[in-house]
Amino acid sequence: MRERIAGLFNLRRDEVAPVLIAAFFFFCILTALMMLRPARDALGMRSGLDSIRWLFIGTAVVTLMVNPMFGWLVARFRRLQFISATYVFFIASLCGFWALLVFAPGMVGERSGQVFYVWFSVFNLFVTMVFWALLADRFSSDQGKRFFALIAVGGTLGAIFGPWLASRLAEPLGTANLLLVASLFLALAIVAAWLLVRVRPDRATPLDATTAVATRNEEAVRIGGNAWAGIRAVFSSPYLAGIAGYVLLMTVVATFIYFTRLQMVAAATDDLDAQTAMFGNIDMWTQVAVLLLQLTLTGRIIKRFGLGVALALLPLAMALGFIGLAVYGSFAVLVLLEAANRAFQRGLTRPAREALFTVASREDKYKAKAFIDTFVYRAGDVVGAQTEGLLGRLGLALGGLASVVVPLAVVWAALGLWLGREQNRRATASVVLASPPSDGASPR
């Protein structure tokens, strides 16, 4: 069976086990997240769309405050220790919300719903960021290009399974107990992280071979540095700044789609249960589209055209999608646009974007990546939310959004192409530097 799986998905035999563990790891994370996301969106709408725009600002502030704390964990503790501590913190938070719902339901209101919205937004980013940081640390650049998309299939299956499981358990267990079920999946994610570190993939590049001795006892060594190193690295490295710029533009456009969806759902119904059901159905069909893309095209696109083209396809698709939405303006077109956005983003762009970090230093894979995937991501949300609100107040609506998205998409696509070339240059340079001289002479 292992040989058949390896041959089907372009894996070596020694890579099958870690890939399966990583896919299960991502499955557990996305199951937990997607069980709770529809309720998060519905609760956020209770105070109106303008309130959500302010919640985005609050979320960005919280992520900026949390980043030095996470950087301190990375500097002071071994890898599995700070990964486990991150997940245990969110498990404890879920148990706290569960206790509030069960033992003090009278305290649950608009304010607590806003707190849950901000907490979930931070939770969503950190648990996925830690997962991808560990993968960038465990796998080489070549391996990331070959099977990050395959590993992402596990997350897509979790994103489909999570809403389905919530719909089956909500009535017999109650909404509060769904938080405990989500906590169980996070606990399984911790187990998967430990297994992934223990089961080492076969390193294929000369760079991996030369660093094998140095990393043999890597779990006994702390990454070190200081809590602010990741933030400084992003502003001092053109490569990391480019990744940050790509993420910023991506989230600005995704936020345009998000608020357009909220407005159309709010216009369709004001019933909380009906809105939650509509959000759940959109999420489910979107994940089906993501799964189809991951299983059919993602690996082939990255292998055939490289990371740059894979990163450039999303902005081009979004430009075309917003033009279509401005022309037709129907709910069906919106669903297609959001499905395309998430399908390209999770099925193609995310694996390609995470492969960019395989050529970064180990400290940057955790600290700089945390800053980019949390604060920069949420900063894009804030910029997108405020821009969308301004265009709405000016009466520009969908046409105004399209006029903003199209030029952004051009810059966004160009940045993706540059990042793909730079990643390839860095990966090639690392292999050349790690290769021994062919004549047997000592390197100079």
Spatial CB neighbours of 283, under 8 Å, sequence gap ≥ 6? 34, 37, 38, 159, 163
Average pLDDT of the residues in 37-42: 66
Look at residue 315 and give its three-state secondary structure.
Answer: helix
Give the phi and the psi of residue 423 in degrees, each rounded to 5: -60, -45
Structure confidence at residue 7 as a pLDDT band (50, 70, 90): low
Question: What pLDDT does residue 50 have?
Answer: 66
C-alpha–C-alpha distance, residues 140 and 163, integer Å: 33
Question: What pLDDT does residue 265 have?
Answer: 67
Question: What pLDDT does residue 444 have?
Answer: 37
Query: By C-alpha distance, which of 19, 296, 290, 295 is closest to 144?
Result: 19
CA distances from 10 to 1, 16, 104, 217, 304 (A): 14, 10, 53, 29, 14
Greater confidence (207 vs 362) lies with 362
Write the single-letter amino acid at 5: I
Which of 25-39, 196-210, 270-284 is predicted least confidently? 196-210
* pLDDT tens per residue, range 61-74: 888 888 888 888 88
Question: What pLDDT does residue 213 have?
Answer: 42
Helix axis angle, 238-268 to 307-328, nearest 10°: 30
Q: Return the residue matching tokens 């069909």.
A: 285
120 in Cβ contact with 262 (< 8 Å): no
Helices (H), 139-237: 141-173, 175-198, 206-211, 229-236
In this predicted structure, the answer to whether residue 24 has a pLDDT above a threshold of 80 is yes
User: What letter does residue 440 receive in the DSSP assignment?
Assistant: S
In this predicted structure, the answer to whether residue 242 has a pLDDT above a threshold of 90 is yes
C-alpha–C-alpha distance, residues 403 and 398, integer Å: 9
Which of 86-90, 257-261, 321-325, 355-359 is predicted least confidently? 257-261
Look at residue 356 and give its three-state secondary structure.
Answer: helix
Domains in the chain, ordered, with CATH? 10-200+227-431 (1.20.1250.20)
Greater confidence (273 vs 425) lies with 425
* pLDDT tens per residue, range 310-344: 899 999 988 888 888 777 766 677 777 777 787 78
Query: By C-alpha distance, which of 17, 278, 24, 324 is closest to 163?
Result: 278
Q: What is the pTM of this model?
A: 0.79
Question: What pLDDT does residue 443 have?
Answer: 40
C-alpha–C-alpha distance, residues 182 and 179, integer Å: 5
Does residue 48 come out as left (phi exceeding 0), alpha (psi in the -120 to 50 range) or beta? left
Question: What pLDDT does residue 218 have?
Answer: 54
Question: What pLDDT does residue 272 have?
Answer: 56
In this predicted structure, the answer to whether residue 97 has a pLDDT above a threshold of 70 is yes
Query: By C-alpha distance, which of 310, 409, 412, 380 is closest to 351?
Result: 310
Percent over 90 (pLDDT), the chain: 23
Question: What pLDDT does residue 179 have?
Answer: 86
Structure tokens, 409: 């998409």
Question: What pLDDT does residue 204 have?
Answer: 42
C-alpha–C-alpha distance, residues 305 and 297, integer Å: 12
Question: What pLDDT does residue 87 have?
Answer: 94
Question: What pLDDT does residue 438 have?
Answer: 45
Greater confidence (40 vs 115) lies with 115
Question: What pLDDT does residue 108 have?
Answer: 61
Greater confidence (13 vs 243) lies with 243
Question: What pLDDT does residue 387 have?
Answer: 84
* pLDDT tens per residue, range 98-155: 888 788 776 666 676 778 888 888 888 899 999 999 998 888 888 888 888 888 889 8
Q: Return the residue matching tokens 């979004």.
A: 318
Query: By C-alpha distance, which of 359, 67, 364, 140 is closest to 236?
Result: 364
Greater confidence (229 vs 442) lies with 229
* pLDDT tens per residue, range 254-285: 888 877 777 766 666 666 556 566 666 666 67
